[in-house]
Structure 1
Amino acid sequence: MINKAGLTLAVLGALLTSFGSQALEPLRVAADPVPHAQILAYIQKIDPQLNLKVIEIPNGVNSNELLVHGDVDANYFQHLPYLKSQEKALGEKLAVAATVHIEPLGIYSHRHKSFADVPVKGTVAVPNNVTNLSRALYLLQDNGLIKLKPGFNDPAADQATPKDIAENPKQLKILEIESPQIPRSLDDVDLAVINGNYALDAGLVPAKDALGLEKAEHNPYANILVTTPKLEHDPRIAQLARDLTSPEVAKYITDNFAGSVIPVAGGKP
């Protein structure tokens, strides 16, 4: 005869052993070097019980593919519109575990000190991926350089391409370039629209050096911690999400990035 109480205790013990071994395994997180890996390194200092293995991703490596294939447990580098485009491209559903910070997109120039100085038929380098290309066009519009067609009102929902430019007073030539390469083009173009992490990596200070900078208020491009649906409720993911959205990390971001990276009040979007 089977002792049900004994069986229950045995099963519970096995589950606890399994949970404990999982908790001891490092949480593998893919991240861009700046500022994401820096923020994760700070978390490793303030929460040493969370066993993190931070994997800095070189340019050209798709961290979402790594996540889908099980090579990492989470990634921290992207915003929600980009994630949605990746889910469509990869045919996979991923999970947002935390919303952490905003890296305002900026317009930079080595040639000009103001937009008024930009010549007719000047060149503008913009990111060539769908979401950040649209984001760049909205930023150019916000700074009076172009005007998009009617109906392009919501940057998060209405994705624009150069074909959607209705007015271009300076006849600017839009050059689509891979995002990590744009900082290198600054000497060759009149204006360059650069993602915050690549600007920081290139030694630029967005809050000081940008001629035009995205506003943080109502910005749909907050950077997020992403994992798989299978790991969404993993206690290690939950702890990392709490750390990333904590007051301590918000203060670290504010103190160390001088407005070039802006913390978001914690929680899921």
Structure 2
Amino acid sequence: MTENLLTVANLSAVSDREDGVPVLRDVDLTLRPGEVRGLVGESGAGKSTIAKAILGILPRTVRITGGRIDFKGRDLLVMKPRDLRNIMGSEIALIPQDPQTALNPARRIGFQLADGLRLKRGMSAKIAEARALQLLADVQIRDPDRIMKSYPHQLSGGMRQRVLIAAAFAVDPQLVVADEPTTALDVTVQKEILRLIRRMQEAHGTGVLFVTHDLGIVAQICDSVTLLYAGKVIEEGPVRDVLETPQHNYTKALIAAGPRYDRPDAGLEPVPEAVFRELRQEIGID
């Protein structure tokens, strides 16, 4: 049996800003090497909180109250800060949501890519620059020489996101956390970026935790999915099983509420209030 790359076990957290309101409720999920797992839920479901906990960037107002986050058998929650810094950006990488704010506006693209390679891989400036140029070609950027010399504001949103994908895979990480990386993009560019992430993931054999609110995106790129509501796992499993034969009424209602590409004339059905009442009762929310 393949050992899990990532195991989140009984992870619980509260918001001190909201007088100890739970934001994660005994969350369990696993990710195998080379697997793409979708972490999906509406706003406030806890998906970004899980991602930030893995990356060690939780805000001070969110406090972990129990559980483990094991990466290759090491609990990230009790790791020394120095050891955690060594892992982040090398073994674990992030594709952020907003490429506009993630890139340094005062630095050329080539410098930003090469600087990360020098820092994390100890490459010389010349070798790092050559590697950065190849990475831009790998993410299907035309004229990578020109892009190397460009500033972020000179690129489109889709091009900036390609740069961030290149940066995430630059050091061959074993885990990439993709935090809604297509949210700021139009539908056409979104499809291109999803195909690119999948292609890079397969080429590098990387495990990807893909955070999204869109089950349609999950269907396109993910192997498995974990569905959250109010910080609790509602359903999880292989994507085909969950989307074709959902077990929970909330999952069924979400699927019915989304557009169907195979039935473009079908109307959308809002999630019934009865489903939310059932969820709140199940979770124990007043």
* Same fold (TM > 0.5): no
Q: Which protein, 1 or 2, shows the higher relative CO under an 8 Å CA cutoff with sep ≥ 6?
A: 1
Higher Cα Rg, which structure: 1
